[in-house]
Amino acid sequence: MTRAPFDVAVIGAGVVGAAIARELSRYRLEVALVEAGPDVGAGTSKANTAIWHTGFDATPGTLEAALVRRGHDLLADYAVEAGIPIERVGALLVAWNEDELAALDGIEEKARANGYPAAARLTAEEVYAAEPNLASRALGGLRIPDEGIICPFTTPLAFATQAMVNGAALLLDTQVAGARDEEGVTVLLGPGGREVAARYVVNAAGLNSDVLDRMFGHETFTVTPRRGELIVFDKLARGLVSHVLLPVPTKMGKGVLVAPTVFGNVMLGPTA
């Protein structure tokens, strides 16, 4: 080791890893943010639907439901503080057949169980009043007024920048290929013989987090990624959509959404 070990090494500079590094850097800790790629947020964090989610449809009582709801509220304040583009445009779940229309009751009940009472049923006429450019077959909908859109690029950059201002080290192009233990200190093995030593290691490696998990001798989970495509329309289409438009979920997943972006485009997807 060429220097004293960091107190904490956070592996992965996506939105989760960068947020963890920012939080830890607020304390008297030596923090390293270790990223395999050439920049912050270069993985999945830059290539998603960029929805600021209330968690209304999470399974009630789960950790996911609690964290998504809390994260929605925290991000509302943090976006203003850090200058992250964000818009509370609201979302509409649109029912196109009788089965989907009947399913809206259960989704509304789930939202209330998650502590989100603002979900509201809409008639077909109210759906078209909100989104007049929809096709003519909609039977009704559910409005989620606090759903929104956010810049997926600025968010991890803001987290990482504040972490560095607080003294954290950002180590890019440092893919972890192995690890060894030296008297209670973990030494991460990087490219070209580079080593990063830390007393604690946080696994925030995203799609590669299961690989890292096994590198430390665990077999606790497996990531099964699904890759889909998003279509981004020209800014001339921005006036066609006012809300995030969501299909009624099925057992196959949440389906394809149509959403405005903070950049003035309209996005459709994902295909997965």
Q: Residue 11 — φ and ψ, nearest 5°? A: -95, 115
Task: Report the distance separating Cα 165 and Cα 19, nearest Å.
Answer: 14
For the chain, give the longest Cα–Cα distance.
68
251 DSSP assignment = T
Dist. CA 112–CA 110, nearest whole Å: 5
Residue owning tokens 């289409």: 237
Catalytic machinery residues = 53
Q: Helix, strand, or coil here: 10?
A: strand
Sheet architecture: strand order including 148-150: 51-52, 148-150, 86-87
Residues contacting 252, CB < 8 A, separation 6+: none
- Identify whether the C-beta of residue 54 lies closer than 8 Å to the C-beta of residue 116: yes
Q: Which of 155, 130, 182 is nearest to 51 (CA)?
A: 155
Q: Tokens for 217, please give them.
A: 């001798």
